[in-house]
Chains A and B, each alone.
Chain A
């Protein structure tokens, strides 16, 4: 079974700094997708970025980029120039025919 590991339960980062949230996954599949979602305290699950296993380039969406290292089975999320509004829970997720979530990392941005 696929497994997602997020080793950072919580992180504190100074505003305007870049932050990297770690994610590793375990799979024997050749074709799969990896996602990052943001969950603020209000509860909604917000899609941030997607990386397909066959994508040759790392995905980027505005301030978000995904550092995809397929051989190492890692898919770290990089947030550039962090903002106070980035404070939230962040979930890495693996997709086969459904999404399987990691345990999440709670990110706190400090003013």
Chain B
């Protein structure tokens, strides 16, 4: 079965550079979530989209932005990168618009970002 696809899997950037992470949700999933997991930490919710509109916002820095496109894929743009942005970034997807239901949220394999 198709899963959530994230690219790139690994990324190394220098401070103050810009990075873009891409996420392709499971087919027919209409909701995308982004999470950031620092070393030894639990994943922290950044932002989510339902039907191409932002549906919820968590602890996402102002230097970061994201959007969901007409084909439901999503991109997380990170500018003015800092050393503290080094983390594993997860994208996840679900159906039914993120409303409570029995629909599971499935995660991609993550994108490892290292800022040097």
Contact = CB atoms under 8 A, between A and B. Distances in A.
B107 interface: yes
A28 to B, nearest CB: 14
A43 B33 contact: no
A65 B100 CA distance: 22
Contacts of B90: 45
A41 to B, nearest CB: 12
Contacts of B101: 33
Interface residues of B, number: 24
Contact of B100 (A31, A47, A104): A31
B55 interface: yes
Given A96-B100, A97-B99, A101-B42, A43 B110 contact: yes
A98 B58 CA distance: 10
Interface residues of A, number: 23
Contact of B88 (A43, A46, A103, A104): A43
Interface in B1-59: 33, 42-43, 45, 48, 55-56, 58
B107 A47 contact: yes
B82 interface: no
B112 A33 contact: no
Contacts of B55: 97
